[in-house]
Structure 1
Amino acid sequence: MFSDIYFRLLLEVMERDSHIQSIPKLIDDAKRAELNSVRNFYLLIRSAYQQYPQTNIGFEFGGHIKPINACDFSRLITTADTVYAAFSLLVDQYPRLSLKVFPQLYRNERDLSIALSTPSEYLLKDGYRRFSSETFFRYCMSILKDLTDREVKPKKIYFDYPKPKYADEYQRIFACELVFDAPLAMIVFDEAIADTALSSRNPYLHDVYLMKSQETWQGMKRQQSFRYRAISQMMQGYPKSFNSQWLAQSLNISTRGLQKRLSAEGSSFSAILQVVRREITKICLYQKHEDFDEVGKNLGFQTQASFRKFFKQQFGISPRMLEESICEEPIN
């Protein structure tokens, strides 16, 4: 489902950046041609941040992705009826692009927010976390700017990395309060935009693109690593997915087969469970503002003591300290 458009567009952005002096040798694997663009996409990103850690290629790249003229993935999003329907599809379909980012959509009576969850060690290095946030949030803004008849600005955006040198560019585009070094990357809008109709909505074409998306996914999903597919299922199916039997059934495999497939990739159910629990903890506490004790119960911990121990091991701080770092008071 990952289109060559994105890889080639990123290549153009890199070639225009004077700080990036060389382009890495790209992969051309005839046996796994479907994955060449994804793997080369990662190669370009890694190379860019290694050559110039303060590069703004994620921000520039995000600004060039226009939903109305991109690939079938974007056409599926843009033919939806409303902003909420488009964002829901974006969150549901995004993990299928193999970009190792799992958006989480949440709506209450006040806010509509999308948080970016990153349950992968890879994203902790080489600037990819920054690249992902810049690209995704600018894409969201393009949907609202290009496909609605109203001027929409975020209420607040949180970034889970230090303030970059070019942060003034963020303010120019997003025009809202920005918070850096947050526990979770998240963009927050007023809930009132959720039911805004898209000017590009088209029920007939939407059904066509949805069917095409499903067909493409059936042919492509086995190209992803089994570990990635398992994490995708867990992120989208929690809290039910924290049960190995449920996860195995959702992946059409036996529980024993699940463990064998994960072991073959150097992982295990307990290992990915810990990674996903960490991310869902941040989603529940930071995005949804759920009760701490209730979160522990939903994550499958038998006692609050075991959840607090897990929390301290993962975040290095007490629950009270995280609550204070999250937000002194709810966003209004």
Structure 2
Amino acid sequence: MCQMEFPTEYIGLVKDVIYSVCRDEEATGKFCKKINLPIEELDTPSMQVRLDVVERVFSALRQQVGQEHVGLLCGSKASESVWGLVGHLVQVSPNLQAAMANLCQYYICFSNAVEFKLQQEPDATTLELIPVPGWKEEYPYSCRQCVEFNMAAALHIASNLVKQPIAPKKVEIAFIQPKESSTYELLFKAPVKFNATTSKLYFAPQAMKLSIAGSCTVLYNKFKQMLQDELLCSTLGGNFRSLVKREVQKRLGEHTACSIELIADSLCMSVRSLQRRLSLEGTSFHQEVEEVKKQVAQQLMKAKQYNISEISFMLGYNDCSAFRKAFKKWTGLNPKAFSMLQQV
């Protein structure tokens, strides 16, 4: 689980949605063959799935069941195991606050495609889901399905953990409102706002204090140590550059500064330590930032939803000319020529 370079989703989520639709081994085998996914990979715990494969999975499921909201409906039936070892830790956490905090801290061990973020607001505790930059533009359907799957799963699992129904105060979804949106309010049992800037569940603070029925200190400490070791592997092992890229991607997605000082601080280390770790892997902070900007720029250009000025702003450039110069350095083409090639 320590070797993630490009954005990938955890096999547990893919397995869960496939099994929820394919009721037996024969049906599962046929479905996997249809989307060119080796069936044995569904039972490989450390397996990571590329985002183009995730797009094929959800698109095929939509076609098979004739339902747009595949992720939402599957998530409403999910169990803790969909989050792998993190799910086991969640099950034995002392209360809902700790369970959600652990989900946010350790899910990166299994997937770098979606980030969970827990925040305290004046009258609510929010659980925010942030897809990796570029996913929404390049594979919009699977991006939406994965985000909505995890939102529905978080709510369903929270209710199971405390043995009573948990309903958010409100829900915000960073996608357009579908023609049939009644399913959302029926499932979340709360007002739902579409076209929001981000996807969030708003919980009443008292709900976060509820004790978890299966709480166990011994297992909690054991699972937490295992995940700490896994996180350490991500930080100190050969995947450190991916961790840096993830932080850069997140800040670009939020349109915030991604200086080396801020990235080092977010990884709880000094600038010198960050530089040394990257140097050991034969790279530098500047190289990693440029690589991320190149990838995101190409994804945004291919999506054809933004003009050059907007993309320049998203990537932190003060003017279009600086972006054009950087883009030509990355690709050998100016943005206009690159766009024309995509139309051929």
Is TM > 0.5 for Structure 1 vs Structure 2?
A: yes
Q: Which amino acid aligns with 2:55?
A: I
What is the TM-score normalised by the length of structure 2? 0.64
2:199 counterpart of 1:192:
no
Matches within 5 A, 1:53-202: 55-67=68-80, 71-124=84-137, 125-202=139-216
Q: Which amino acid aligns with 1:131?
A: Q
2:285 counterpart of 1:268:
no
Helix, strand or coil for the counterpart of 1:64? coil
Q: What is the aligned-residue identity percentage?
A: 14
Cα distance, 1:158 vs structure 2: 0.8
Cα distance, 1:184 vs structure 2: 0.9
1:164-194 residue CA offsets vs partner (Å, 9 max, x unmatched): 3442221221011101111111111112222
Q: Which amino acid aligns with 1:242?
A: S
What is the TM-score normalised by the length of structure 1? 0.66
Cα distance change of structure 1 residues 224 and 182 upon mapping to structure 2, 3 Å threshold: farther
- 2-side partners of 1:85 and 1:275: how far apart? 35
Could you tell me whether the CA contact under 8 Å between 2:117 and 2:127 is conserved in 1?
yes
Cα distance change of structure 1 residues 65 and 52 upon mapping to structure 2, 3 Å threshold: closer
1:250-301 residue CA offsets vs partner (Å, 9 max, x unmatched): 65745656782678xxx6325648999xxxxxxxxxxxxxxxxxxxxxxxxx
- 2-side partners of 1:108 and 1:162: how far apart? 25
Cα distance change of structure 1 residues 93 and 176 upon mapping to structure 2, 3 Å threshold: same
1:33-91 residue CA offsets vs partner (Å, 9 max, x unmatched): 776x3226851433433785863221132123212797422110121111111111111
Cα distance, 1:161 vs structure 2: 0.8
Cα distance, 1:312 vs structure 2: 9.0
Question: Mind listing any 5+ residue stretches in structure 1 that lack a counterpart?
Answer: 277-308, 316-332
Could you tell me whether the CA contact under 8 Å between 1:78 and 1:201 is conserved in 2?
yes
2:58 counterpart of 1:48:
yes
Could you tell me whether the CA contact under 8 Å between 2:129 and 2:198 is conserved in 1?
yes
- 2-side partners of 1:164 and 1:83: how far apart? 31
Helix, strand or coil for the counterpart of 1:114? strand
Helix, strand or coil for the counterpart of 1:39? strand
Q: Which amino acid aligns with 1:151?
A: P
- 2-side partners of 1:250 and 1:90: how far apart? 27
Q: Which amino acid aligns with 1:25?
A: N
2:13 paired residue among 6, 19, 36: 6
Question: Mind listing any 5+ residue stretches in structure 2 that lack a counterpart?
Answer: 2-8, 297-308, 316-344
The number of equivalent residue pairs is: 274
Q: Which amino acid aligns with 1:46?
A: R
Q: Which amino acid aligns with 2:314?
A: Q
Q: Which amino acid aligns with 1:139?
A: A
